[in-house]
Structures are given as C-alpha cells and as structure tokens.
C-alpha cells in the first residue's frame, strides 16, 4: 500500500490533453489553454533520497494539457516570487519537469525509474530560456566591470563573448565542460528544454536526440511554462502518445531556495488522458 | 555508511563508500617555512589549466597569508564554525568529521560559499596576526606572526567532494589516487563545492559545471612532478607517492617525511577526508593556531625539522625539494650528498648538503667600485 502511494497518486479528475487543431506551443496565454481543464497538483518536497529538499517553498503546480496530431503539450503554472534564471556558484535556476514511464506504467518509479522500467523526463530550465532568448549568459552579464588579462587562442576582441570567441578547438580546451561535450555546458542553445532518460538514482542522462519543445515566462510572480512532447518519434527514448490513458509525474525547482538536482518539489505518477 | 580507517585521526570513521586505497597515493609536501608568496605556482597553474572564460575565479592553486588570508573568503573559519568545538584525545580525534556531523541524511556536512567569497583571490595578503609595538621591528625578533599557506586539492583518500556527488561524477583513480571531476557527467549541482572542506572544487559560471585540480595527471603519467611543484621558486614543494599504511618504504622521500619522521602534517585532518598535501608547519607560529590547523603532531614535527642539520637522512630527504622535475621514488644520503632516483631507476638529483660558498672582495679593483653583494 505504501509503495503504491509512493509510486502513484490520482486527482479527482485526471489531467486531460484536450484535442485541438494546432497546439499553441509558444503562446502561453492563448485562449485554447483556457478551454482545457485545469488540475491543481499539491507538490511535495523531495525527502526520499539525498540530497533532500528540507525547506519547501512551492506547494502548488497548476497543469492544463492540449494535444494535436503531432504534439502533446502541458502548460504548467506556479507561484514564485523571484525569477531565478542565472547560475553562479550561489545562484540556481528555476525549473520544471514532466516525466513519463517508458516501461510498465504500474511498476515505474517516479524517482528516476529503475533498471527494467526507465523513465522519460522533459526538463525546462529558466536559464536555458534566457540562453535561447538572449544568448548564453557570459561573465560580462554577471560582472559588467570584470577584467581579465586575456584568454588563450581566442578570436575577436574584448570582452570575448564565449559563443563566438571560443569556437576554435584550441580555445575550446579552456572551457572544459563544453569541450567534453557536456549538454549543460553547451554554448549554442535552440530550445529551453532537455530530454533525459533515467534507469535509477544517479543515472539521469541527456538523450541523444532532442525532440521536445518548450517555452516559458515569469510574470508578476508566476511562472508559465509549456512543455511539448511529440506524439510519435523514431526514438526509443521517447514515450508514444496513443489516444487514451498515460501516466505523468511532475517536479519543480525554486532556484531562489537553492533547489537543484534532488533538492526539488515533486508529485508521483498520476493518470492523464490524451484525446 | 561504511567504516573506514583514517590513519590521520587514528581511528575508524564513517564514510559513504567502502574504503579502497589506491595502489599508490599521489601526495605532496609543502614546507611552509620556505614559501615566499611569489605566487609563481598560482600563475603556472592558472596559465596551464584555468585561463578560459568562466575560470577567472578558479584557482586550483592559491597561496594565502595566514591568519587573515583565505580563498575563498573565510573558508577555514567557516569550516571550524560548522563543525563546532572538537577535541583531540592525544593522537586520536574524538570529535566528529564532516562525514559524522551530517544532517538531513546528507553524506557530508559542508557549506556553499557565496559569489562574493571568490571576488578577492589574495585578500589578507601579508596581514600579520596582531599590532606591532612601536619600534619592535628594530629590536630583534618580534612576536607578531604570519605565514604563507600554499593550497591545492588534497586528492584526499576519502574525498568529501566525491562522497557528496549524487551522480558519481567524481572519481578517484585507482592507479595514483588523483581525484577528478568527469567534465562530461557533472550537472552543476554544486554538492561537491559544498562538501569539500578545503573549497577546492570550483564552479565555472560559463560551463556551469564544477572543476578541480587534476594533479597535472598528464605529467604524473610521465613520471614528472606537477607544474606548481616544478615551478616553485622557494623550492618548498615535493610531489611523490605515499604507500599504503604499513607498507612505508624508508627510501621513499614522501613515506619517510610523512609516515616515518612525521615532519609533514595534513591540513585540518579533523575534517576526516585524509588529505594528501602534507605541510611542514611554520616553526614560529603559536602552537594553538598550528595545532588546530595541522593536528596534534606539530610540536614533534617542528622539533624534528629543527634537527635536520644534524640528521643526514632527513637533510637528504629535504634536499629532494625543488631540485628536479622528475618524481623521486628513492633517495639516500651519500656522504655529504643527497641523491635521488626516478621511477626508471635513473639518477635525477645529486646535491651537496652545503652549497659551495664564494665571497668576493668588497672593493672591485678592476672597475674601481664597491660591490653591493659579495656572496
Ligand atoms: S581537497 Fe576537496 S576537492 Fe580535493 S579531493 Fe579533497 S574533498 Fe575533493
Ligand atoms: S611558487 Fe613556491 S614559494 Fe612561490 S608562492 Fe608558490 S609555493 Fe610559495
């Protein structure tokens, strides 16, 4: 009974992805969203696995869903008094994620899945939204008056924007994460969402093919984010959305409260209906 | 939590992983009495590894003036503060390590420095411990003290950074004990930055992942000492390998100085990570300060160090510092000479105990001028 409670939960009315001709994937406040039923999710602080979120700051996530023949889109809204879309040693980004089982839905563990029951995660990050809109955040964005004597093998002139000045392979060696191909360190970003697969704690991995789409905005203390997942792709790492029932889980991070990784708010798998 | 043996605190302690000592452990000895704070090591490291964008505040090597110099700011007073008052009972640490004082189910107790803590890499440089009395400087030896503490990652036997990473993106190489961040796996959670008691994992704001000293492993693999060691102007540094406890070799200079003569001590051993940079403590600094910093062996270490002129074997080991780029695996005193060999058995050092001394005439007859420097 306990494990059932832990793995899944249900709302009075399941989240229903209402059929529309074309999902307004980047139109955060389009009227179609108003016509989709809203589900209120009481998220919980993640306190099952270390590192835990011991000081929860988010209690509710509101979700609506739409579907057309190519996409299933989920719009998520939550209160967050501060927009956190920068990353420095003591600054963390706001973020939200949806999760779908890839194996047996009854056995899928929402905490990063398991060896026989992997999970698919689409993770939107506020800092990636900023990257897409304004370019990769750079040293001069955080410290406009910074000075450095110089950087080896760079192109162009001061302040040597990383996106252009470090494109050569010699200079790139001085951006270790980027040079190692780490998706977190990628400099040219086209979408603010990352598709991942996990088969247990510590196994979260970026998918080779990135098929999801997302868009988000912080306005008057509320984040509104749409995450869209293709219904069918030739990618074994993605779920397939037939018309009918699905399971979905949620997670949300408050960067201002140092939420990152496992320090998050979450909600287990819950039924969703795709029209 | 597993139980592992930490010889520096003379007891078993909790650690999230099974104890697995590497075949040989990279280790360094820094003689604090010889450091002149020239920062050549810092620059050598910076130009080699961290001169990219986002690395402006990343110093795998830094040299800070104690007691008021820190990088990042106040890293060690804050460490002492979060651990609280702790006690040594003789050579055994009776307090709690960072793995034992944990809360909220975390594997390590730590803290995350704020961005401003990294703003001044050499804050407190040359600041002394107290006020000098009027005229004290001219009246001989005075009591006001400071010393330079050169710092790199300690390539700990039980790394806090590794223990804290929920992704296992940090690993310790079994062949030499070097601790590395897998730059392709890290997701920038900063659990390691929080957990390292020495604050020697850095967060890169451009790549958004963590980085740390790599022990110059491409050099180590060729039997060469790291850049910070090779370039040290003050010849304060020696890098080599420490054998497993109980397997010490008297002709390995690191084993000899650390485990046999106990003249070089770990930094804040009470944190429990078994750090592998060993310091010859400053001889002139009050023992309550150095005792807190280097543990209960300070008095003996200083006495042993002072005895070096009369101890040919100890003197020979100390003369391995800064005289070759090769990693010295074996050394010995041969008469009035110190000789060292590398891993291939090739002689890499041969230095006299006493350097030849030449004195020139004060008055240079040829140029009809007085010399400023005659030795
Ligand atoms: S000094 Fe810090 S970064 Fe280096 S191995 Fe130890 S815990 Fe890790
Ligand atoms: S190069 Fe040597 S003497 Fe100079 S600051 Fe570094 S450790 Fe000290």
Tens of pLDDT, residue by residue over B130-150, are 998 888 878 888 889 999 999
Looking at beta carbons, which residues of chain A come within 8 Å of B185?
182
Percentage of chain B beyond pLDDT 90 is 92
ipTM of the complex: 0.94
Across the strands, what pairs with B238? B29
Q: Which of A52, A137, A175 sits opposite B52 (nearest CB)?
A: A175
Cβ proximity of B105 and A50 under 8 Å: yes
Return the pLDDT at B139. Answer: 82
Identify the closest residue of chain B to A264 by CA–CA distance.
B189
pLDDT for position B374:
84
Does A168 contact chain B (CB < 8 Å)?
A: no
Q: Hey, what are A153's tokens?
A: 């093998």
Residues in chain A: 275
CB B58 within 8 A of CB B50: yes
Distance from CA of B26 to the nearest CA of A (A): 23
pLDDT at B289: 97
Contacts of A253 in chain B (CB under 8 A): none
The pLDDT tens digits along chain A (275 residues) read 344 445 677 776 899 999 999 999 999 999 999 999 999 999 999 999 999 999 999 999 999 999 999 999 999 999 999 999 999 999 999 999 999 999 888 888 888 888 889 999 999 999 999 999 999 999 999 999 999 988 999 999 999 999 999 999 999 999 999 999 999 999 999 999 999 999 988 889 999 999 999 999 999 999 999 999 999 888 888 988 888 899 999 999 999 999 999 999 999 999 999 99
Whether B208 sits inside 8 A of A185 (CB atoms) is yes
Give the pLDDT mean for B224-238.
98
What does the pLDDT read at residue A213? Answer: 97
| The pLDDT value given to residue A3 | 41
Catalogue the long-range contacts made by B218-226 (C-beta closer than 8 Å, 24 or more residues apart).
B220/B26, B220/B176, B220/B178, B220/B327, B223/B326, B223/B327, B223/B342, B223/B343, B223/B344, B224/B325, B224/B326, B224/B327, B225/B324, B225/B325, B225/B326, B225/B327
* Helix or strand holding residue B230 (H, E): helix B227-230
pLDDT in tens, B82-96: 999 999 999 999 999
- Measured in angstroms, the CA of B353 and the nearest CA of chain A are apart by 42
Average pLDDT, chain B: 96
Ligand 1 atom closest to Cα of residue B199:
2
Interface check A158 vs B, CB under 8 A: no
- Contact between chains at A52 and B112 (C-beta distance less than 8 A): no
Enumerate domains of chain B plus CATH numbers. 2-289 (3.30.70.20)
Distance A237 CA to ligand 2 centre (A): 52
Most A CBs within 10 Å: which of B118, B188, B200, as the mutation test of the A interface?
B188
- CA of A16, closest CA in chain B: separation in Å? 33
Q: Which of A46, A55, A89 has the most B C-beta neighbours within 10 Å, making it the best mutation to test the interface with B?
A: A89
* Alpha helices (H) in A26-72, listed in sequence order: 31-35
Contact A182 B184 (CB under 8 A): yes
B31-82 confidence digits (pLDDT tens): 999 999 999 999 999 999 999 999 999 999 999 999 999 999 999 999 999 9
Q: Does ligand 2 have an atom closer than 6 angstroms to the CB of B35? A: yes
Above 50 in pLDDT, residue B221? yes
Is the distance from the beta carbon of residue B43 to the nearest atom of ligand 2 less than 6 Å?
no
Taking a C-beta distance cutoff of 8 angstroms, is the pair B176, B188 a contact?
no
**In 3-state terms, what secondary structure has residue A39?**
strand
The answer to whether the beta carbons of residues A77 and A60 sit under 8 Å apart is no
- Partner-chain residue, chosen from A127, A142, A180, that has the shortest CB–CB distance to B183: A180
Q: Which domains does chain A have, with CATH numbers?
A: 2-136+190-274 (2.60.40.1190), 137-188 (no CATH)
Angstrom distance (rounded) from CA B242 to CA B220? 14
**pLDDT tens per residue, range B109-128:** 999 999 999 999 999 999 99
For the stretch B164-189, pLDDT in tens is 999 999 999 999 999 999 999 999 99
CA A10 to chain B, closest CA, distance in angstroms equals: 29
Taken as a whole, chain B contains a residue count of 375
Contact at CB, B183 and A176, closer than 8 angstroms: yes
Q: Count of CB atoms within 10 A of residue A212's CB?
A: 24
Q: How far is the CA of B61 from the centre of ligand 2 (A)?
A: 10
Instruction: Tell the residue number behind the tokens 């219904």, with chain if given.
Output: A231
CB B200 less than 6 A from any atom of ligand 1? yes
Ligand 1 touching residue B154 (CB < 6 A) = yes
């Amino acid at each position: 009974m306990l494990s059932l409670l832990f793995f899944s939960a249900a709302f009075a009315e399941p989240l229903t992805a209402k059929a529309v001709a074309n999902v307004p994937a980047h139109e955060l406040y389009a009227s179609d969203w108003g016509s989709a039923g809203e589900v209120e999710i009481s998220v919980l602080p993640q306190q099952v696995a270390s590192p835990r979120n011991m000081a929860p700051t988010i209690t509710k996530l509101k979700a609506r869903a739409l579907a057309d023949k190519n996409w299933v889109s989920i719009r998520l809204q939550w209160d967050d008094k501060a927009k956190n879309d920068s990353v420095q040693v003591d600054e963390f980004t706001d973020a939200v994620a949806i999760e779908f089982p890839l194996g047996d839905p009854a056995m899928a563990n929402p905490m990063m899945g398991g060896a026989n029951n992997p999970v698919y995660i689409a993770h939107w990050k506020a800092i990636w939204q900023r990257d897409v809109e304004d370019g990769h955040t750079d040293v001069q964005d955080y410290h406009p008056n910074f000075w450095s004597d110089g950087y080896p093998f760079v192109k162009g002139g001061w302040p040597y924007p990383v996106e252009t000045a470090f494109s050569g392979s010699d200079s790139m060696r001085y951006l270790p994460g980027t040079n190692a191909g780490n998706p977190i360190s990628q400099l040219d970003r086209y979408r603010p969402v990352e598709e991942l697969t996990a088969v247990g704690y510590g196994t979260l991995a970026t998918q080779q093919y990135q098929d999801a789409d997302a868009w988000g905005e912080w306005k008057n203390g509320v984040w509104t984010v749409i995450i869209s997942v293709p219904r069918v792709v030739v990618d074994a790492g993605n779920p397939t959305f037939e018309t009918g029932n699905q399971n979905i889980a949620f997670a949300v991070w408050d960067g201002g409260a140092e939420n990152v990784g496992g320090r998050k708010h979450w909600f287990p798998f819950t039924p969703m209906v795709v029209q | 939590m597993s139980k592992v043996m930490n010889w520096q605190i003379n007891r078993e302690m909790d650690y999230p992983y099974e104890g697995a000592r590497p075949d040989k452990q990279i280790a360094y000895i820094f003689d604090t009495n010889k450091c002149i704070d020239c920062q050549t090591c810092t620059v050598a490291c910076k130009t080699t590894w961290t001169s990219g964008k986002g690395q402006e505040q990343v110093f795998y090597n830094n040299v800070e003036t104690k007691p008021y110099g820190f990088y990042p700011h106040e890293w060690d007073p804050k460490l002492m503060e979060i651990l609280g008052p702790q006690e040594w009972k003789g050579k055994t640490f009776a307090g709690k390590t960072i793995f034992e004082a944990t809360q909220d189910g975390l594997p390590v107790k730590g803290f995350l420095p704020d961005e401003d803590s990294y703003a001044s890499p050499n804050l407190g440089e040359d600041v002394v411990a107290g006020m000098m009395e009027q005229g004290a400087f001219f009246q001989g030896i005075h009591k006001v003290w400071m010393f330079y503490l050169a710092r790199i990652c300690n390539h700990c036997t039980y790394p806090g950074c590794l223990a804290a990473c929920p992704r296992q993106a940090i690993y310790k190489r079994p062949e030499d004990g070097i601790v590395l961040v897998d730059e392709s796996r890290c997701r920038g959670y900063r659990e390691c930055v929080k957990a390292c008691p020495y604050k020697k994992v850095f967060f890169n704001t451009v790549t958004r992942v963590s980085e740390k000293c790599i022990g110059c492993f491409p050099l180590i693999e060729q039997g060469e000492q790291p850049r910070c060691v090779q370039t040290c102007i003050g010849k304060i540094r020696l890098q080599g390998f420490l054998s497993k406890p109980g397997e010490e070799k008297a002709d390995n200079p690191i084993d000899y100085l650390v485990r046999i003569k106990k003249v070089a001590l770990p930094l804040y051993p009470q944190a429990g990570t078994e750090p592998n940079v060993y310091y010859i403590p400053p001889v002139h600094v009050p023992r309550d300060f150095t005792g807190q910093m280097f543990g209960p062996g300070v008095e003996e270490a200083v006495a042993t160090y002072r005895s070096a002129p009369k101890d040919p074997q100890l003197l020979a080991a100390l003369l391995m510092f800064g005289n070759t780029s090769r990693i010295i695996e074996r050394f010995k005193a041969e008469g009035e000479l110190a000789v060292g060999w590398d891993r291939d058995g090739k002689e890499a050092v041969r230095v006299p105990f006493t350097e030849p001394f030449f004195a020139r005439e004060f008055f240079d007859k040829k140029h009809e001028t007085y010399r400023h420097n005659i030795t």
